[in-house]
Amino acid sequence: MRGSSHVAAEHLQSESRGQVENVHLVQASYASVPPSVDATLAMRQEHIELVIHEHHMKRLGYWLTLPPTPVTNRLLAVPKSTWIVYQGAMLASALDRNMESTTLLRSIDWLDKLEQELYCQYCSNSSLEGAAGWLITQIQIVFVKFTAIGCSSGYLALQKALPAFLRLVAIDSNLHIDNARGNLVTSFPHTLGVPQYELQSFVMYDTIASLLLGTSPLVEYDYNGECDPASHGFEWMHGVPVVLFEIISQVNSWRAGSRVTLEDWQKLERRVLNWQSRLAIAEGGLYVNTTVKLAIQEGWRHVTLIYIYMGMCGVSSHDERVQESISEIIRLGETVDNLPIGVHILPHCVIVGLAAKYEKHRAIIHKKLLSFKGNRLWLFHGLDFARILEHLWYGVGAGGAPVTCDDYVQSRRAVVPGI
């Protein structure tokens, strides 16, 4: 066994490599301010680089590992994405420091104007390359809006990206399937396996938004074929194993009344129970303790089981299987408590909050969700979900009464309407 000094050295080397890669990312992707933005509003290049670099340094601790090189390269190809990252960094900083609302509103207004300008440029450029470039920037705007503004703003931005996504899928025969009814559907496993960051990201957000917000998937997916875990490059960002991710998407499709062939709940349950983590004992990139990673992934196992039982079988939160999984998620959550990497349990907190019947569990979940803000965030921030759960707990679920998935969706519609 290697000594602890060797492990520490590897940790420092990985962290240093991450710093260098982020500096290169900022420098290579820097571009001039879009023409419609008044030049007096633009900071100097050095300042922008510093802001983005510091933002990435803060975010490194929240990733399971460094972003894959293909993802970085894909972002480098779209220089204007730097301005979106910069604005996201400014919003995160303002939220961290609890700055006044006028500062936040000014930043949000700037982001909205940039989004509109980029969309107009996309509409005037009908090429496939233009569509792919715009989708990359739009997905980044989706991330900033979900994490810094709110679920409604982020979801509307995601809906706006749908036509470009479908256009890019339609030109690749590997990514779409003509089903028996003559409808064009998107191959879930094949789309997750493509190198295009923007296509994977759209599917990721569409799937997770359906899980956490109770929306119907924007795309009808086909599940023939297997998702290749080795080609799935986004676990560094969202932490969910690709096998469980695909099962969650099938439950989404079932709840939306999809016409594609889906597995029944018993088969999905067996797949979840038989799933085994592919994590190695030691990995490269950021040195995150493997025990912590395993805890996050095991938590996803139980999130998926709860979603199968409540989302497909229609059981209430008081079902014994649901309560057993809640206890396991809470136990596993202690492993990541107070660690930066703990942002990856935001979806675990939402699902546990949905089904929790004890006030002590609800209090833990509420406090944890409110902590997910500023730079401490996942693919969403936690405030909207804390408010949704409050509505559920003091309404249908008052006093620990049993609730269903449909009850949660009604609470979401009351708190975050319009999506």
Q: What's the half-sphere exposure (Cβ side, CA atoms, 13 Å) at 417? A: 1
> Which residue carries 């709840």 as its tokens?
255
Structure tokens at 7: 């492990």
Can you name the residues that pair with 376 across neighbouring β-strands?
Answer: 373
- The closest of 414, 410, 361, 350 to 386, measured between CA atoms, is 350
Strands 176-178 and 184-187: antiparallel
Q: What is the pLDDT of residue 282?
A: 42
- The closest of 139, 146, 168 to 74, measured between CA atoms, is 139
- Residue 324 one-letter amino acid: E
Q: What is the pLDDT of residue 10?
A: 37
State the CB neighbour count (10 A cutoff) for residue 415: 18
Q: Which H or E element spans position 163?
A: helix 151-170
Q: What is each CA distance from 375 to 36, 101, 155, 355, in whole angstroms?
A: 29, 18, 20, 28
Structure tokens at 181: 């009814």
First to last CA, the chain: 53
Q: What is each CA distance from 118 to 35, 113, 185, in whole angstroms?
A: 11, 9, 28
Per-residue pLDDT of the chain (419 residues; tens, 9 = 90+): 444 334 333 333 444 444 444 434 434 433 334 444 444 444 456 666 666 666 666 666 666 666 666 666 666 566 677 767 777 777 777 676 665 567 778 878 888 998 999 899 888 887 998 899 999 999 999 998 998 899 999 999 999 999 999 999 999 999 998 876 667 899 999 999 888 889 999 999 999 999 999 999 999 999 998 887 665 666 766 789 999 999 999 999 999 999 999 999 999 999 999 999 877 544 444 445 788 889 999 999 999 999 999 999 999 999 999 999 999 999 999 989 888 888 899 999 999 999 999 999 999 999 999 999 877 788 999 999 999 999 999 999 999 999 999 999 999 999 999 99
Which SS3 state, helix, strand or coil, does residue 186 take? strand
Q: How much helix, strand and coil, in percent to the nearest 5, is found in the chain?
A: 65, 5, 30
Q: What is each CA distance from 277 to 226, 242, 295, 352, in whole angstroms?
A: 16, 10, 10, 22
Opening angle at CA 359, ends 355 and 360, nearest 5: 105
Q: What is the pLDDT of residue 201?
A: 92
Q: What is the pLDDT of residue 340?
A: 84
User: What's the CA gap between 68 and 53, in Å, rounded?
Assistant: 18
For CA atoms 165, 194, 256, 397, give the dihedral sign: negative
Cα-Cα-Cα-Cα dihedral of 277, 280, 285, 290, to 10°? Answer: 70
User: What's the CA gap between 324 and 181, in Å, rounded?
Assistant: 41
Q: What is each CA distance from 284 to 18, 34, 64, 68, in whole angstroms?
A: 11, 38, 11, 12
Go through 258-290 and write b for each residue having 16 or more CB atoms within 10 A of its CB, e for each that does not.
Answer: bebebeebeebbebbeebebebeeeeebbbbee
Q: What is the pLDDT of residue 337?
A: 85
Q: What is the pLDDT of residue 101?
A: 67
